[in-house]
């Protein structure tokens, strides 16, 4: 992956790890339980993607910088825990939205670069974006965000589809990624702000 | 895998995906959350099997028809959602039984074809049959069917064992598969109908 | 892995499988649901480790003795179920502590032997130790031990770190493993006995 994509990926890990820390602090876990939840959230999605695509070992085994980002996120959060705790209520879904957008873009990108087709790439984008948050919520015994009524997986799918289309049109990776990030993030943040939901059955 | 086994596999995916859709509609998820739950249920068991056996990438990455079956199942269900919703109460465990039988047979078959021993093949059959439904129920926060008192994993194990024995006796694959399907399905449906359970401790 | 490490590994599987059986008997599962929970607990952590490190197929596929240990543990438990049930309340966390210590040592060892760095080895030790119990508790719908306030992941991390340090100092494997086992087990048992916990936020 290109250099700036690597940094985007690390940013996604930090953001998701922070969401894990916040949830852990709400459920009054100890610092190392916090570390576990941060790690699961931060690298869970990409790990599942690599496992399914047969990339081995998974990305963070050969690039431990990912683990250090998680450790740093948890450490900094513990130092500023009062602030983390104060912010948590409003900030968790927003952080989660940034992580969702970043990981959707990177997951889609990685599947396409490995030569997989469009439908697989879209699913990988969604999985990479969604899985870490699902693991976090299942471990903390909450209803996963993805299973609530607000638009969530839809945002990820729209972003991933845009990426695939622009990639097929041979646009530069940067443009495709920007479009994917913009679409996913806008849809998800709008869904949070105005409680947008797809219609459910009558 | 032979041609008709491929179709059986697709049928199993559709049946399990439908069970995911039904559960999703009961918990009032949006259509894309529904898609996620359908996908997890439909290909979760086979995915776990392939990961454990070291088949990479997992089956649906190289054969996207599986993803299209899931997408089609969800789309058709959304069109006929009123009916899906009406049927759900009685139909979910029955659909699940068909999926269990189909995936037990295919999982056992695939492990044997890859040259693994009998005990591994039986476990792979059970895992393939059981894992998708477990993931579905954990995500929807219900007690997994497999962990309730009715005969469930037992049915899968009996079917898988029959498959292994007949396979070892060099019977045609079709006969072994039919026996496995028949035994698993009969045991599980009988368990649903008459609430059969193995004895638990006094 | 050396011969005696193999036996330690089997002991860890038996101990964790027994913890799965105990939990299954409390939630009144049937014998085969019990088998599923015992298997998930006994080989879940090592399976995840092998998947992440790209060892394929995972360890128990090529060494079915692990499956037989699980089957034997469940069978013996069923025969002595009255005793198992009587002991359960006090014994479950202690059994879990032994499994945690054994699997932490073996997971760390295996990652180092495969040539991975210290931070990856520590994480693999923790994952191997912790994942089986997490899966067990999620399936049985309890708050995972690792997410409660008592010292748990901390004990595993301390033991794994000790292993890595002693291994780097070129001490014999036996000494490093003994130190890891001793530290993890002591910390965890002390945490159970005196309800030790790291401080949480005020």
Task: Give the count of beta carbons closer than 10 Å to the beta carbon of residue C171.
Answer: 15
Residue numbers in A near C200 (CB within 8 A): 25, 28-30
Of C31, C45, C142, residue with least CA distance to C77? C31
- Record: contact C198-A31, CB cut-off 8 A: yes
Q: Which of C115, C130, C117 is nearest to C49 (CA)?
A: C130
Do A201 and B25 lie within an 8 Å CB cutoff?
A: yes
Q: Which of the 8 DSSP states describes residue C56?
A: S
**Nearest-by-Cβ selection for C146 from A33, A51, A138:** A33
Count the domains in chain B: 1
Three-state secondary structure call for residue C148 = coil
**Beta carbons of A42 and A17 less than 8 angstroms apart:** yes
The two tokens of residue A127 are 């999985």
pLDDT score for B88 = 61
Distance of alpha carbon C14 from alpha carbon C39, whole angstroms: 10
Q: Is the peptide bond before B26 cis (omega within 30 degrees of 0)?
A: no
* Predicted local confidence at residue C200, as pLDDT: 63
Q: Decide: A133 and A16 in contact? Cβ < 8 Å.
A: yes
Q: Are the beta carbons of B105 and B184 closer than 8 angstroms?
A: yes
Q: Give the span between the Cα atoms of C14 and C43, in whole angstroms.
A: 10
β partners of residue C197: C150
Q: Is residue C199 part of a domain?
A: no
Paired with A150 in beta bridges are A197
Token pair, residue B21, equals 């859709």
DSSP string across chain B = --HHHHHHHHHHHHHHHHHHHHHHHHTT--HHHHHHHHHHHHHHHHHHHHHHHT-SS-HHHH-THHHHHHHHHHHHHHHTHHHHHHHHHHHHHHHHHHHHHHHHHHHHHHHHHTT--HHHHHHHHHHHHHHHHHHHHHHTT---GGGSSBS-HHHHHHHHHHHHHHHHTT--HHHHHHHHHHHHHHHHHHHHHHT-BPPPP-
Residue B76 forms part of a structural domain: yes
Q: Which residue of A has its CA nearest to C198?
A: A30
CA distances from A65 to A60, A61, A71, B50, C168 (A): 7, 9, 10, 29, 21
Contact A138 C138 (CB under 8 A): yes
Backbone angles phi, psi at C114, to 5 degrees: -80, 0
Q: Could A138 and B139 be called an inter-chain contact, meaning their C-beta atoms sit closer than 8 Å?
A: yes
Phi, psi of C125 (to 5 degrees): -60, -45
Residue C202 has pLDDT above 50, yes or no: no
The residue in chain A having the minimum alpha-carbon distance to the alpha carbon of residue B55 is A54
Q: What is the pLDDT of residue C2?
A: 59
Q: Is residue A114 part of a domain?
A: yes
Chains in contact with A, where contact requires at least 3 CB pairs less than 8 Å apart: B, C
Q: Is residue A200 part of a domain?
A: no
Decide: helix, strand or coil at residue A74: helix
* Best mutation target, B123, B125, B132, B196, to test chain C (most C CBs within 10 A): B123
Of the candidates A2, A19, A1, the residue with the CA atom closest to the CA atom of residue A129: A19
Tokens 């700036």 belong to which residue? A4
Do residues C99 and C129 make contact, with C-beta atoms less than 8 angstroms apart?
yes
Cβ contact, residue pair B138, C140, below 8 Å: no
Average pLDDT rounded to a whole number, residues B129-139: 90
Rounded to whole angstroms, what are the CA distances from A36 to B99, B164, C197? 34, 40, 16
Return the minimum-mean-pLDDT range out of A33-37, B49-53, C13-17. A33-37
- Residue among B148, B21, B122, B37 nearest B80 (CA): B21
Nearest CA in chain B to C33: B147
Considering CB atoms only, which of A53, A157, A198 is closest to B61? Answer: A53
Q: How confident is the model at residue B157, as a pLDDT?
A: 93
Residue C106: how many CB atoms within 10 A of its CB?
27
**Does the pLDDT of residue C115 top 90, yes or no?**
yes
Residue A199 lies in a domain: no
Q: What's the pLDDT at B199?
A: 72
Which residue of chain C has the CA closest to B112? C61
pLDDT tier, B153 (very low <50, low <70, confident <90, very high otherwise): confident
pLDDT for res B201: 55
| Of the listed ranges A163-172, B85-94, B102-111, the one predicted with least confidence | B85-94
- The phi, psi pair for A20, rounded to 5°, reads -65, -40
| Residue C147 with chain A: CB contacts under 8 Å | 24, 27, 29, 33, 36-37, 139-140
Cβ of C201 within 8 Å of Cβ of A64? The answer is no
Q: Is residue C176 one of the residues assigned to a domain?
A: yes
Give the whole-angstrom CA distance, residue B185 versus residue C58: 30
Contact B51 A51 (CB under 8 A): yes
Residue A183 and residue A167: Cα distance in Å, rounded? 15
Q: Do A31 and C147 lie within an 8 Å CB cutoff?
A: no
Question: Rounded to an integer, what distance in angstroms lies between the CA atom of residue B181 and that of residue C33?
Answer: 20
**Domain range spanning residue A152?**
3-194
Please give the distance of CA C22 from its chain centroid, rounded to a whole number.
15
Q: Mean pLDDT across the stretch A90-109?
A: 92
The nearest CA of chain A is from the CA of C40 a distance in Å of 16
Q: Is the pLDDT of residue B143 over 90?
A: no
Q: What is the pLDDT of residues B22-80, one digit of tens each?
A: 888 887 777 877 888 999 999 999 999 999 999 989 999 988 899 999 999 999 988 88
Q: Compute φ and ψ for B185, nearest 5 degrees.
A: -65, -45
Distance CA(C67)–CA(B119), nearest Å, equals 8
Tokens in use for B44? Answer: 């979760």
Residue of B nearest to A131 (CA): B36
Q: Specify the higher pLDDT residue, B134 or C87.
A: B134
Percent of residues in chain C assigned helix, strand, coil, to nearest 5: 80, 0, 20
Window from A148-152, C74-78, C167-171 with minimum mean pLDDT: A148-152
Of A29, A47, A139, which has the smallest distance from its Cβ to C149's Cβ? A29
A110 upstream amide cis, omega within 30 of 0:
no
Cα within 13 Å of Cα(A23), Cβ side? 32
Mean pLDDT to the nearest integer, B114-134: 92
Contact at CB, C138 and A140, closer than 8 angstroms: no
Could you tell me which chains touch chain B, where touching means 3 or more CB pairs under 8 A?
A, C
Sign of the torsion formed by the C-alpha atoms of C127, C133, C137 and C140: positive
Q: ipTM value of the model?
A: 0.82
Instruction: Round the average pLDDT of chain A to a whole number and report it.
Output: 89
Who's near A121: CB < 8 A, 6+ residues apart? A108, A111, A112, A160, A163, A164
For residue A38 the two structure tokens come to 């941060």
**Best residue in B29, B55, B70, B140 for a mutation probing chain A (most A CBs within 10 Å):** B29
Interface of C with A (CB under 8 A): 51-54, 56, 116-117, 119-120, 123, 126, 130, 134, 138, 143-144, 146-154, 157, 197-202
Q: What is the pLDDT of residues A117-148, one digit of tens each?
A: 999 999 999 999 999 999 998 888 787 877 77
Query: Once rounded to an integer, what is the mean pLDDT over residues C142-154?
Result: 79
Instruction: Copy the structure tokens of residue B56.
Output: 């990479």
How confident is the model at residue A179, as a pLDDT? 97
Q: Specify the DSSP class assigned to residue C93.
A: H
What pLDDT shows up at residue B202? 47
Q: Distance from B84 to chain A by nearest Cα, in Å?
A: 10
| CA distance to partner chain B, nearest, from residue A118 (Å) | 9
Residue A32: pLDDT above 80? Answer: no
In a domain, B202, yes or no: no
Distance CA A24, CA A3 (A): 32
Mean of all residue pLDDT scores within chain C: 89
- B161-180 residue pLDDT tens: 999 999 999 999 999 999 99
Chain length of chain B: 202
Residue A47 confidence (pLDDT) above 90: yes
> Considering the domain boundaries, does residue A178 fall inside one?
yes
Percent of chain B with pLDDT strictly greater than 90 = 59
């Amino acid at each position: 992956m290109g250099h700036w994509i690597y940094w985007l990926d690390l940013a996604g890990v930090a953001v998701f790890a922070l969401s894990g820390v916040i949830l852990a602090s709400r459920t009054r876990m100890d610092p190392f339980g916090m570390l576990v939840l941060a790690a699961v959230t931060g690298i869970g999605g990409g790990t599942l993607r690599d496992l399914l695509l047969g990339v081995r070992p998974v990305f963070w085994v050969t690039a431990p910088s990912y683990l250090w980002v998680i450790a740093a996120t948890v450490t900094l959060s513990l130092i500023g825990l009062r602030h983390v705790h104060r912010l948590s209520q409003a900030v968790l879904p927003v952080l989660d939205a940034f992580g969702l957008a970043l990981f959707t873009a990177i997951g889609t990108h990685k599947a396409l670069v490995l030569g997989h087709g469009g439908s697989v790439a879209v699913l990988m984008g969604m999985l990479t974006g969604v899985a870490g948050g699902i693991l976090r919520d299942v471990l903390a015994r909450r209803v996963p965000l993805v299973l609530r009524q607000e638009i969530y997986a839809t945002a990820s799918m729209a972003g991933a589809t845009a990426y695939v289309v622009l990639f097929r049109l041979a646009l530069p990776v940067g443009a495709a990624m920007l479009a994917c990030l913009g679409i996913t993030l806008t849809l998800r943040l709008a869904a949070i702000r105005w409680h947008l939901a797809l219609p459910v059955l009558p």
